[in-house]
Amino acid sequence: MTPILEAQNVEFAYSAGAPVVRGVSLRVNPGKLCALIGANGCGKSTLIRLFAGLLAPAKGEILFGGARLRSIPRREAARQIAYVPQAIAMVFPFTVLEVVLTGRSPYTARFRFEDESDRERAMGALARVDAAHLAARRVTELSGGERQMVAVARALAQQPQCVLLDEPSAALDLKHRAALVRTLATLRDSQGLTAFVVTHDLHLIDPLFDYVFALRCGALEAEGPPTEILTDRVLARVYDDPHVRARRVEGRTLIWSN
């Protein structure tokens, strides 16, 4: 099977600093829900930004569907890959609908505005993340969690094959965290969506995620199904913390550090 996303020996450094991503090779198969985990500053966000095409690797190559990501026209790539950034700081008081409608821009010609069908898709995307009631609100008035849901809705309005989410659950409450993962799993099962999620929220991963990649100091430390990665031994290595414990309880993995 051709992977939908692939990193081939990718290296990246910000300006003249030490490399943040060091020789990472990984393959994300289509229709899978994948997590990227690792300690703070280990290069997770940089790697996801490389996959989103926001950064260009210094060495190696990022492939999308077997083609070099850099060779795919930007708007074409935007129809295939959606990216939800970590922090959604909005300066201007756009309405939520205006924000989500921008997800339709890769499909809209330069001098055209979105039409009714775009509005329906945007509203549908908002409904998927349980935020349709926010449509007319100013995005600057929303809580961090609500903004996060709006950003996810925009990504869904893009109707991508693959969605990249950078810590999407960071500002979400318990209910919405679980709901977000369920939504991604539903879209995976019904539409074959691939999701690549950077997360510190290890409890989210098991049982709905298919695969986990673990970074340590910019390099790929481990990869495999959640049950293989979410173990004392692997997590202790990934987080440099011998006190991490992972136990299976009622079909899912609980993780804590003593």
**Other beta carbons within 10 Å of 150:** 27
Q: Nearest approach, Cβ of 74 to another protein (angstroms)?
A: 4
Q: Which of 166, 227, 155, 152 is closest to 196 using CA atoms?
A: 166
Tell how strand 252-257 and strand 244-249 pair up: antiparallel
Helix axes 116-128, 144-157, angle to 10 degrees: 130
Query: What is the DSSP-derived secondary structure letter of residue 53?
Result: T
Q: Nearest approach, Cβ of 253 to another protein (angstroms)?
A: 32
Between 9 and 117, CB nearer to another protein: 117
What is the three-class DSSP state of 29?
A: coil
Q: Nearest approach, Cβ of 21 to another protein (angstroms)?
A: 15
Instruction: Using only the alpha carbons of the chain, give its radius of gyration.
Output: 18
Q: Nearest approach, Cβ of 134 to another protein (angstroms)?
A: 7
Between 135 and 202, CB nearer to another protein: 135
Between 14 and 256, CB nearer to another protein: 14
Residues 43/51, Cβ–Cβ less than 8 Å: no
Query: What is the DSSP-derived secondary structure letter of residue 95?
Result: B
Q: Nearest approach, Cβ of 169 to another protein (angstroms)?
A: 19
Q: Which residues bind another protein (CB under 8 A)?
A: 14-15, 49, 52-54, 74-78, 81-83, 85, 88-95, 97-99, 102-103, 105-106, 108, 110-116, 119, 133-137, 140, 154, 158
Rounded CA gap, 14 and 172, in Å? 30
Q: Nearest approach, Cβ of 225 to another protein (angstroms)?
A: 29
Between 84 and 238, CB nearer to another protein: 84
**Other beta carbons within 10 Å of 92:** 8
Between 85 and 226, CB nearer to another protein: 85
Between 133 and 247, CB nearer to another protein: 133
